[in-house]
Structure 1
Amino acid sequence: MTYIPTAHTLEELEKFITYQPKLTELQIYDCYDVEYLPDSIGNFASLQELDICDCAWLKEIPDSIGKLTNLEKLLIRGCIRDISKLKKLPDSIGQLKALTHLTIRNTSIKSLPETVGNIKNLKYLSLEYGYFTSLPECIGELKKS
């Protein structure tokens, strides 16, 4: 597991993760001034767990997250400093075929993309303390396990 200490800029964050090509678990915590995750995050073919926590100014999860074909667990927590920031997940989340665990807690995300219905291996979905105004109909079609 690799823990990324507080990074104050996108450049600092990108520099750190560039030198970690074989990561299986990545925790990005307390990166208060980072507004965007680098597109290069999609290059971690071995990544199985991504935990993004307390990144208060985060505005967007990049589309490249859909390239994480081995990602089993995605946690996005505490990214809520300004209600106008992180409002949605990219449609590419539906490409995460190995994803079994999705937690979205204490964020300003208002809805899930319809593509979440493409994640056939999803066994655990937790949506807590958020601003969800609607959920896609496909949620009801996900299998119970």
Structure 2
Amino acid sequence: MRRLRVLIMINVHTYFQGPICLPNGLRWFEWPECPGIPEFSSGPKKLVGLDLHKSNIRVVREQFKDFKMLKSINFSECQSLECMPNLNCTPNLEELDLHGCKNLKHADESLAHHNRLRLLNLSGCSELYDFPDVLQSKNLELLNLNHCSRLERFPNIPDKIKSMRGLYLIGTSIEELPKSIENLVTLEEMDLRYCKKLAILPSSIYRLPNLEMLMLEGCSKLVKFPKEEEPSDSHMTMGFRKLYVLNLRGCNLSELDFLENHSSFQFLRALYLLGNNITNLPTCELLHNLLWFDVSYCQQLQEIPQSSGQLSHLWSIGCESVSRFAPDNVTLEVNFPPTNGN
């Protein structure tokens, strides 16, 4: 079948004997739940997609070195996989999906410098602890490390990456972000929810001018949110120019003085502070564009000041210490708010 371009094998569980010979013109090969990694006697030189999700793969052998045209690899939910493939063998790779590989322990160093990689999904790799020290994949758009619960360190980013839109680190064991996080200059979403060891955020996060959503819910060791520092270069862009959702529910903050810099939070629409140790709130003049405001279970909060801006929804469930409640032009909600600002 020399003209065969797509081969999809569903519910084929027979264990193969010997190498597989595939047409050189094959573009897409998909074999979910494959009983073992195929051994190819002759490689399909034009293969762009390889999908072996839920297969019994433990180690990726070197036969993939001939697949220079590969753009997409899906080895997701391969429960026996311990090491990811060496991406130097696939210089054109754009998408690598290894989510749910629960025994994956090592991320190959080759991903740190891969020039074409756009999507890297390692979500749910709960045994992953070994990740490259640096990240220089200049075309990376999305990095998903959600629920990599053994991962304790985020890589240094020595050079600007002008393509990344989303960084997802939910439930990791990361204790701090590097100062070089500022080099993710196009980042729009950063999700650090339930990173229960996260204690330090660098002030360099204010150099993420395109950040729209910053999610820190459940970071119980975070006792202080950084203040914006004065730039050493007067021409340097600082501040959150596009941030509209800041989720700090379940953190351990006692002060909100970082909000006093109006220029950094002028577009903030949703601010979630549930369960923090704050006693005072910033004046709403500083947050004049705020629409949704959650201070529920801030049990040391003394006063909720008058609103003169656009505030329309306020959640203040369980604020037993509040002695003065001034807002008269907002809707007092009894149910919990959405956490994403939608």
Q: Residue type of the partner of 2:226?
A: P
Report what 1:37 is aligned to.
Answer: 177
Task: Tell me by how many angstroms 1:96 deviates.
Answer: 0.6
Of the structure 1 ranges 67-76 and 123-132, higher mean CA displacement relative to structure 2 is found in: 123-132
For residues 270 and 145 of structure 2, what CA distance do their matches in structure 1 show? 25
Report what 1:8 is aligned to.
Answer: 151
TM-score where L is the length of structure 1: 0.79
* Number of residues of Structure 1 aligned to a counterpart in Structure 2: 137
Matched residue SS, 1:46: coil
For structure 2, the residue ranges without an aligned partner over 5 or more in a row are 1-141, 230-237, 290-309, 312-342
Do residues 117 (structure 1) and 258 (structure 2) align? Answer: no
Report what 1:46 is aligned to.
Answer: 186
Q: Could you say if the C-alpha distance between residues 116 and 103 of structure 1 is closer, same or farther in structure 2, counting changes exceeding 3 Å?
A: farther
Report what 1:129 is aligned to.
Answer: 275
For residues 74 and 116 of structure 1, what CA distance do their matches in structure 2 show? 17
Report what 2:288 is aligned to.
Answer: 142
Matched residue SS, 1:50: strand
8 Å contact from structure 1 (residues 74, 103) kept in 2: yes
Q: Could you say if the C-alpha distance between residues 128 and 139 of structure 1 is closer, same or farther in structure 2, counting changes exceeding 3 Å?
A: farther
For residues 200 and 159 of structure 2, what CA distance do their matches in structure 1 show? 23
Matched residue SS, 2:248: strand
Report what 2:242 is aligned to.
Answer: 98
Q: Residue type of the partner of 1:26?
A: L
Report what 2:195 is aligned to.
Answer: 55
Q: Could you say if the C-alpha distance between residues 123 and 114 of structure 1 is closer, same or farther in structure 2, counting changes exceeding 3 Å?
A: closer
Matched residue SS, 1:120: coil
Matched residue SS, 2:214: strand
Deviations 1:71-121 (A, max 9, x none): 1111111111xxxx3111111298112111111111112222143532211
For residues 140 and 36 of structure 1, what CA distance do their matches in structure 2 show? 28
8 Å contact from structure 2 (residues 218, 250) kept in 1: yes
Moved over 3 A (4+): 17-20, 138-141
8 Å contact from structure 1 (residues 117, 138) kept in 2: no
Structure with bigger RCO (C-alpha 8 Å, 6+ apart) = 1
Give the share of equivalent positions with the same residue, in percent: 28
For residues 126 and 139 of structure 1, what CA distance do their matches in structure 2 show? 17
Do residues 79 (structure 1) and 79 (structure 2) align? Answer: no
Matched residue SS, 2:266: coil
Q: Residue type of the partner of 1:78?
A: G
Report what 1:24 is aligned to.
Answer: 165
For structure 1, the residue ranges without an aligned partner over 5 or more in a row are none
Matched residue SS, 1:110: coil
TM-score where L is the length of structure 2: 0.36
Q: Could you say if the C-alpha distance between residues 126 and 51 of structure 1 is closer, same or farther in structure 2, counting changes exceeding 3 Å?
A: same
